[in-house]
Every structure is written in structure tokens, then in C-alpha cells.
């Protein structure tokens, strides 16, 4: 079923997974997916390498999701590909029964010689709206989502230009916006208001990054934009500096035990923070929450269950 159709009747609860790099990763991920299936998600998305390097694993995961009668959204990028190549690859996803896709430009790649980040896709399309327009014409039966950036895309010159790009994606045929994670809810609300003023009428689905570790919380937050409560958790449950490597075995073991306790406490309060964040988001102009499952289904499922989030998304 098209995600846009689901959004007309309820707020969605969904998850994102990514193709594992390990050789035995697919069977493990399938077990993770089985856990997520039990939560009756409205859809599950699967990421896709910018150059399509993991297209085989991506298709295998998407097929597993579709075969279990769960709506699947495949990520799809245009880096380094001609229109003909993109059409052929995407047709394979459609043939397996997919009805939804998050179409994005993808990250610029490094030059293999200089190591510098390239300033072009190296393919036929340079922008996501061009990819969406092309795929929408070739596969009109598919529901395409556009990526949105509440705290602005890193390469955007301004919020205004970034919102104009989003409007172009809507005009190209996108039917919903899947937003990058944003812990600053007031900033999200301001951004949505600006989007609405610019004529963007699409439903918004926010990406939720579960707070499970200190490193995860820091890496996925824009510097200077970390909310006060999250900053408190990061500060309060961060272990002290490690002892010298020359310390006694007993001292090193005590420190190891201490770091494990800090990590467990951080995870506990991070989960509570995530639940409260989702509940706050559900009070805004928002039509769905999309958990980055991080291929850690058990912990994400606990967040959803403890927060009674399935019943809240209706």
C-alpha cells in the first residue's frame, strides 16, 4: 500500500534498517525484522548506498519485508548512474512488489585520486527533484517520498533555498516528506511553518534517532543545537577519564565495570528521553514517526512498547 494513502487516515509508526556489511549479516537482520514485524509497523524502509554498491543486499532485504506483507520503502539515489541504469535498477524493485521509495540525490563521493569530495553526482541527474520527476513519469504507480531537513541540509546556503528545493521535490511528484532526525522540536515547528508558508502541503514524517549511547547522541546532533535535557543526560552519564594503561589490573577492571554501568544508565535514560521526544512530536504538525532502528530491534521495540507508541500513532 502507498504510504501517502496510509497517512490520509492515521499517523504512521515505521522503522528504518540498513544492509549489514558482515557476510552473515542478512540472516541476523532478518531476525531483527521479525521482531519489528510484531509491532505492526505501517512501513519499513531500507537504506541504499549512494553508488548502489549494496543494491544486492538492499533488494534482498526489501523482498523479505514485502514477502512478509509489510509495506516497504526503498531508499534510492542517482549518484553515478545514467537515466537508463536508474530505470533498470528501480524496475527490479517494482517487480518484487514495492510501492514506495524515498528518492534522494545521495552523498557526493570522494575522488579516488585526490581524496577530495566531488561536487557532482557523476550521473545524469544532479538534484533529487530531477530524480523524482524522472521516476514519477516512468513509474507513476509508485509513491515517492522526498527528504526534508528541519535543521537545513549541510550544503544548503540558507533555510530559504533549502525549502525551495523541497518545494521543487513536491512539484516533481513527491507525496510525503521524510525528515532527518531533529532533537530540537521548536526548530522543527519553525521549519514546518516556513514550509507551509512556502506552499508545501505534503505530510511530514520525522526521523527518530533512539538515544542509546553517548557517542550516538553526540554524533547525530548539530553542534550547539543539543537540547538542555539531552545535554544533561550526556553530561551526567559520561564516565570519567580512564586511568593510565600502566595501572594495576584491578584498577583497569574497576574502570571497565564503571564504564559499563555508565553505559547502562545512559541507555535507560536515553530511552526515556526518546519516548518523551516522540510524544512531544506527536503534538506538532506531524503525520508520522520513523525510527532509525540501527539494526537493534530489541531495544527499539522496548522504546515503542514502553511508550505505548503504537496506540498513540493512530
pLDDT bucket at 130, cuts 50 / 70 / 90: very high
Which residues face 205 on adjacent strands?
178, 288
Q: What is the torsional sign of CA 277, 283, 284, 290?
A: positive
Through-space distance between the first and last CA atoms of the chain, rounded to whole angstroms: 17
Interval 84-128: pLDDT, tens: 999 999 999 999 999 999 999 988 777 777 777 777 787 899 999
pLDDT in tens, 188-210: 999 999 999 999 999 999 999 99
Q: What single DSSP character describes residue 109?
A: P
Which pLDDT score is estimated for 187? 93
The predicted model scores a pTM of 0.92
Cβ count near 55 (within 10 Å): 17
Going 21 to 23 to 24 to 29, the CA torsion angle's sign is: positive
- Is residue 21 over pLDDT 60? yes
pLDDT of residue 223: 59
**What DSSP state is assigned to residue 294?**
T
Please give the DSSP secondary-structure letter assigned to residue 139. -
What pLDDT was estimated at residue 222?
Answer: 63
The larger pLDDT score, comparing residue 219 to residue 283, is at 283
**Following DSSP, what letter does each residue of 149-193 receive, concatenated?**
-TT--TT-S-HHHHHHHHHHHHHHT--EEEEPP-S-HHHHHHHHH
pLDDT over threshold 60, residue 148: yes
**In this structure, how many other beta carbons lie within 10 angstroms of the beta carbon of residue 101?**
26
| Span of 54-58, 141-145, 306-310 with lowest mean pLDDT | 54-58
| Residue 242 scores a pLDDT above 80 | yes
With a cut of 90, say whether residue 155 has pLDDT above it: no
Phi, psi of 114 (to 5 degrees): -90, -25
Backbone dihedral angles phi then psi of residue 14, each to the nearest 5 degrees: -145, 175
pLDDT at 52 over 70: no
Q: Cα–Cα distance between 260 and 269 in angstroms, integer?
A: 14
pLDDT at residue 309, as a whole number: 96
119, three cell numbers: 561536487
The mean pLDDT of the chain is: 91
Strands 176-179, 204-208: pairing kind? parallel
pLDDT band at 53 (very low <50, low <70, confident <90, very high): low
Per-residue pLDDT, 62: 96
Q: Report the percentage of the chain scoring pLDDT > 70.
A: 96
Amino acid at each position: 500500500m502507498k504510504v501517502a494513502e496510509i497517512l490520509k487516515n492515521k499517523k504512521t509508526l515505521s522503522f528504518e534498517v540498513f544492509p549489514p556489511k558482515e557476510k552473515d549479516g542478512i540472516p541476523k537482520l532478518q531476525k531483527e525484522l521479525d521482531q519489528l514485524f510484531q509491532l505492526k509497523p505501517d512501513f519499513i524502509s531500507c537504506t541504499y548506498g549512494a553508488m548502489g554498491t549494496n543494491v544486492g543486499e538492499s533488494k534482498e532485504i526489501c523482498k523479505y519485508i514485502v514477502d512478509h506483507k509489510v509495506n516497504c520503502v526503498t531508499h534510492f539515489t542517482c549518484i553515478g548512474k545514467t537515466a537508463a541504469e536508474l530505470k533498470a535498477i528501480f524496475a527490479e524493485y517494482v517487480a518484487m512488489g514495492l510501492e514506495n521509495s524515498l528518492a534522494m540525490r545521495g552523498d557526493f563521493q570522494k575522488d579516488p585520486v585526490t581524496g577530495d569530495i566531488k561536487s557532482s553526482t557523476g550521473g545524469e541527474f544532479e538534484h533529487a527533484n530531477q530524480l523524482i520527476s524522472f521516476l514519477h513519469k516512468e513509474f507513476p504507480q509508485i509513491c515517492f517520498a522526498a527528504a526534508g531537513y528541519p535543521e537545513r541540509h549541510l550544503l544548503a546556503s540558507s533555510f530559504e533555498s533549502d525549502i525551495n528545493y523541497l518545494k521543487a521535490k513536491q512539484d516533481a511528484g513527491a507525496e510525503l516528506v521524510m525528515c532527518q532526525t531533529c532533537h530540537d522540536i521548536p526548530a522543527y515547528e519553525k521549519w514546518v511553518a516556513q514550509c507551509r508558508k512556502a506552499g508545501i502541503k505534503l505530510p511530514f514524517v520525522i526521523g527518530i534517532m533512539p538515544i542509546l549511547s553517548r557517542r550516538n547522541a553526540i554524533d547525530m546532533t548539530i553542534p550547539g543545537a543539543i537540547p538542555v535535557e539531552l545535554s544533561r543526560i550526556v553530561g551526567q552519564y559520561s564516565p570519567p577519564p580512564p586511568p593510565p594503561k600502566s595501572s594495576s589490573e584491578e584498577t583497569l577492571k574497576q574502570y571497565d565495570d564503571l564504564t559499563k554501568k555508565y553505559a547502562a544508565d545512559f541507555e535507560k535514560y536515553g530511552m526515556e528521553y526518546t519516548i518523551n521526544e516522540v510524544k512531544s512530536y506527536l503534538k506538532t504538525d506531524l503525520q508520522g514517526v520513523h525510527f532509525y532502528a540501527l539494526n537493534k530491534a530489541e531495544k527499539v521495540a522496548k522504546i515503542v512498547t514502553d511508550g505505548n507508541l503504537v496506540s498513540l500513532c493512530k
